[in-house]
Amino acid sequence: MVSAPAVAPVAAPTVAPAPPVLPEAVLPIEDAVEEEVEIVAAPEPEPEVKRSWLSRLKAGLSKTSSNLTTLFVGARIDDDLYEELESALLVSDAGVEATQWLLDELKKKVKAERLTEAAQVRTALRTLLIDLLQPLQRPLVLGRDKPLVMMIAGVNGAGKTTTIGKLALHLQAHGQSVLLAAGDTFRAAAREQLAVWGERNNVQVIAQESGDPAAVAYDSVHSAQARGTHVVMVDTAGRLPTQLHLMDELKKIKRVIAKAMSSAPHEVLLVIDGNTGQNALAQVKAFDDALGLTGLVVTKLDGTAKGGILAAIAKTRPVPLYFIGVGEKIEDLQPFNATEFVDALLS
């Protein structure tokens, strides 16, 4: 995570303006009626944990990093360099639109700043990549509703159920009580996985042996309201965006959640596998068109992920990227930081 901000007071809305959003990946804001409360940042990971996470991120992106950085070793700034850079970006899954934008802007920057060394061009590329990805770096703000209802979607194999468990622990670290709705009624293993995890970590899980996942979501929201729970996370069955009947079911779940609580769902998150390349972009487009996504979680960046897909998402469908994952451990899921990611990509 980024460095923890100082503790800041929050006054009641009727007394003072709402506080600014602090640069923390998950920011709890408790309701204040008669007295001031404090925003307390979650504990930062230990330095060695952070270094270990960054090293795994660099290792996961090493193939793309090698392809990009070797271009600038002893290179001349000419058309051949730009052509090789174009090929490297396309191979990294950056997509045609983002690649063309980066090349056009890089050429302008080289000319305007009269860059003559390959190392200067690499630095200019770093700046442009950070500028492109920065809009994706947004905090997940908690406490604006109680319960805060989060609907989680994704295709099979993206790591959705595992990610839900990790997110729940992140939320608990911020003092948030969590309820999980096992809305994946098609896969018994998913329900069992959540139930076992819930027992181990003192998190309530609402599940049904079979039936309508929308009903599970509805019951979960009402249960959270009755118990005063801070956050409800609704798991949904994995599905391909081409399975129209299943996409329609997701829309139904969203509608039913809104019946249980008119302002919900407050977050609609899509979990995507960082190794699936341009297919991940197609998933973002399809799920965003169907549900109106509010955030993304990209998993498995420790494998053969090329990393350029984030540039493609930023250019064509810039949905906020809340977290990225590089492994199976809880601490392997960290807030997305554009500068850290680009430095790993160009390391």
Residues 286-335: tens digit of each pLDDT: 999 989 999 999 998 876 667 889 999 999 999 999 999 887 777 788 88
Lowest mean pLDDT among 171-180, 212-221, 251-260, 322-331: 322-331
Q: Which of 141-155, 232-246, 302-316 has the highest mean pLDDT?
A: 141-155
240 or 163: which leads in pLDDT:
163
The mean of the pLDDT values for the chain is: 81
Phi-psi region of 159 (alpha: psi -120 to 50; beta: other; left: phi over 0): left
Q: Which residue in the block uniquely carries the two structure tokens 């930062």? A: 44
Percent of the chain with pLDDT over 70: 81
Q: Taking residues 179-207, what's their average pLDDT?
A: 79
Q: How confident is the model at residue 37 (pLDDT cuts 50, 70, 90)?
A: very low
User: Which residue type, as a one-letter code, is found at position 133?
Assistant: L
pLDDT at residue 347 greater than cutoff 50: yes
Q: How many alpha carbons lie under 13 Å from residue 57 in its C-beta half-sphere?
A: 29
| pTM > 0.85: yes or no | no
Provide the pLDDT for residue 49.
63
C-alpha distances out from residue 317 to 14, 185, 269, 289, 342, Å? 36, 30, 14, 10, 19
Backbone angles phi, psi at 204, to 5 degrees: -70, 135
Note whether 237 and 213 are within 8 A (CB). yes
Q: Could you tell me the two tokens for 178?
A: 């969590």
